[in-house]
A and B are shown apart, each in its own frame.
Chain A
């Protein structure tokens, strides 16, 4: 059942929609620069760097070990996994799980993250809600169920209004996420105003607070390496090679690139 279309005052467009877009955008840009100012240098210790590289090397051994001779592969596997003094068996790192309470630098980092991102969003969202309240701002192009009404139509107490009509607060939140691509256009990739990326990082960061737990990582690598066998990729390389003539295409072209350009 088609509803009669609401005709909104064009003043709304001029004085509400556009200002909110500008405000969101400017706040984002300011957030980016503030985050740059407040950035603290992450200092990695030598041990952490070294351990991460060792883990990478072991992984490469597992994946590409088939390109080196069997003897060399076994030698390296022995070095890592030997019962008495293999690297993964022998090395125990002192692991202090960096809980937010004990590690002061992480605490400040978290605080800074919160201050620069969550706080402004809440403040400005609230302010916009207070300033631009009491009227409908825009209509989302897809139909929504009635459940969305209290969320998206804050301040508009109309029972019969279609849930697609939303208030300015929801327009603000729409902008926050929508302007992400604008930010990457103007501020370059990896900018501090990228709200959703930060939230994603927070979520995945909780899942992989692992780098601190090198012992577990070592144990996992040890197991994986134990299971790996050596299937030499070069068993029949000559037969493969000689099955057809060599392709000398383009080797003897008359035109050699001369000079710089």
Chain B
């Protein structure tokens, strides 16, 4: 299999910079990270200097994500050991040294969390829990360990408990946006849309210019149903579009919510008229977008017709 550097004709510096960019953007492209990182560690470890530890951590987490347990173990051992270790027979030789090295470097919470994550990947949840508990005894403010414990509950399918624990966590660490988002996801899975909306509101407040949160909030409101919520959802779909003109999902959402309100029997004539206007505008924009997409292709005329039919079929009729 060709190496990454051969395939893309890049040097080790570019690979290292790419890894750093992924780290800063918090991307979850684990397969790519594993490919690039494995080669970087394998061939160029001496040139990396102190960067190598953070790269080990990044590659290890990506490897656990791709179920590359052998690579994860090796990265973990390196991180513990502080020395370059030759990978002749990774699985066998590393297991034993992992035990030894744990004795040698028992103090780093960050590395402990990594070994806990490895246990999670092997589905040894009780051991992993014990691991995290020791970290928390030592340092009660360690957020990483608490979040891993909650993800263990989620992995085991105990969503009610996970929700409870996450709520307690958020009571103490109200500022953790990752946690709010996770909680909103858990609530959506439980169909508790009111509480999910609350979490998304927190996120919208802290990130007022993020169109994705607005859109997700609008979708939750739309799912909740009821005239008030539909109005709110229409407003937030419009806000998402205002923040990012290219958000097609928000455009469709705007169309759907506006037509839904217009079709509802309980609204006044003025509201109905306004909403039909909004829906018509949204439909024109959708048509425009599809026309633009189909530029230069032969199927353009057919697809435009298909879009119009689709829009008609999505019309909500008074039942």
Nearest CB of chain B from residue A175's CB, rounded to whole Å: 30
Chain B, residues 228-249, CB within 8 Å of chain A (1/0): the string is: 0000101110110110011000
CB distance from B201 to the nearest CB of A (A): 5
Listed A/B pairs (20) with beta-carbon separation below 8 Å: A45-B141, A46-B172, A49-B173, A50-B173, A61-B205, A64-B205, A67-B204, A72-B198, A241-B238, A241-B241, A246-B251, A246-B285, A246-B288, A247-B246, A248-B245, A248-B289, A252-B295, A260-B35, A260-B36, A261-B10
- Docked Cα-Cα span, A126 to B105, in Å, equals 45
A residues within 8 A CB of B234? 238
Residues in chain A near residue B239, CB distance under 8 A: 67, 234, 237
For residue B292, CB closer than 8 A to chain A, the reply is yes
Q: Are B175 and A56 in contact (CB under 8 A)?
A: yes
Chain A residue at minimum C-beta to C-beta distance from B293:
A252
CB-based closest 8 A-B pairs = A53-B175, A247-B245, A64-B205, A261-B8, A237-B238, A246-B245, A68-B201, A50-B172
User: Nearest residue in B to A41 (C-beta to C-beta)?
Assistant: B139
Say if the beta carbon of B14 comes within 8 Å of chain A: yes
B32→A241 contact, CB < 8 A: no
A interface list, Cβ under 8 A from B: 44-46, 49-50, 53-54, 56-57, 60-61, 64-65, 67-69, 72, 234, 237-238, 240-242, 245-248, 250-252, 259-261
Structural contact, A248 and B288, CB atoms closer than 8 A: yes
Contact of A60 among B8, B141, B206, B281 (CB under 8 A): B206
Which of B141, B241, B245 is the one whose CB lies under 8 Å from A44? B141
Question: For the complex, is B278 an interface residue (Cβ under 8 Å from A)?
Answer: yes
Residues of A within 8 A of B241 (CB): 241, 246
Least CB separation from A246: chain B residue? B245
B195 to chain A, nearest CB (A): 12
**Which residue on chain A has the smallest CB distance to residue B143?**
A49
Chain B hits for A60, CB < 8 A: 205-206
Tell me if B10 and A248 are in contact (CB < 8 A).
no
| Closest chain A residue, CB of each to CB of B197 | A72
B 94-107 to A, binary, CB cutoff 8 A, 1 in contact else 0 = 00000000000000
Check B242–A237 contact: CB distance below 8 A.
yes
User: CA separation between A53 and B206, bound complex, in Å?
Assistant: 12
Q: Which residues of A contact B281 (CB under 8 A)?
A: 242
Number of B positions contacting A (CB below 8 A): 43
Q: Check: B4 CB closer than 8 A to any chain A CB.
A: yes
Answer yes or no: B44 CB below 8 A from chain A CBs.
Answer: no
Q: A65-B205, A259-B8, A260-B32 are contacts. A237–B278 as well, Cβ < 8 Å?
A: no
A238, B4: Cβ atoms closer than 8 Å: no
Beta-carbon contact of B288 and A245 below 8 Å:
yes
B208 within 8 A of A: yes
Query: Could you say which residues of chain A place their CB within 8 Å of the CB of B278?
Result: 238, 242
| Residues of chain B within 8 A of A49, CB atoms compared | 141, 172-173
Q: Which of B249-289 contact A (CB under 8 A)?
A: 251, 278, 281, 285, 288-289
Identify B205's interface contact among A68, A238, A242, A252, CB under 8 A: A68
B18 at the interface (CB under 8 A from A): yes
Tell yes or no: B174 within 8 A of A by CB: yes
B245–A46 touching, CB < 8 Å = no
B226 within 8 A of A: no
Residue B90 interfacial (CB < 8 Å): no
Q: How far is the CB of A260 from chain B (nearest CB, A)?
A: 5
A67 touches which of B140, B171, B208 (Cβ 8 Å): B208
Q: Which residues of B contact A61 (CB under 8 A)?
A: 205
List the A residue with the shortest CB-CB distance to B248.
A251
**B141 touching A251, Cβ below 8 Å:** no
Report which residue of A68, A72, A242, A251 has the largest number of chain B beta carbons within 10 angstroms of its beta carbon. Answer: A68
Residues of B contacting A57 in the complex (Cβ-Cβ under 8 angstroms): 174-175, 202
Q: Is the CB of B288 within 8 A of A238?
A: no
Which listed residue, A56, A69, A259, A260, touches B232 by the CB 8 Å rule? A69
Query: Once bound together, how far apart are the Cα atoms of A250 and B285, in whole Å?
Result: 16
Since A53-B176, A60-B205 are in contact, a sample of 4 more A-B pairs with Cβ atoms closer than 8 Å, ordered by chain A residue number, is A46-B140, A49-B173, A53-B174, A250-B246
Question: Which A residues touch B176, using CB under 8 A?
Answer: 53
CB atoms of B36 and A238 under 8 A apart? no
CA distance in complex: A68, B293 (Å): 34
Q: Identify which of B174, B175, B242, B246 contacts A240 (C-beta below 8 A).
A: B242
Q: With CB as the reference atom, state the residue of chain A lying closest to B251.
A: A246
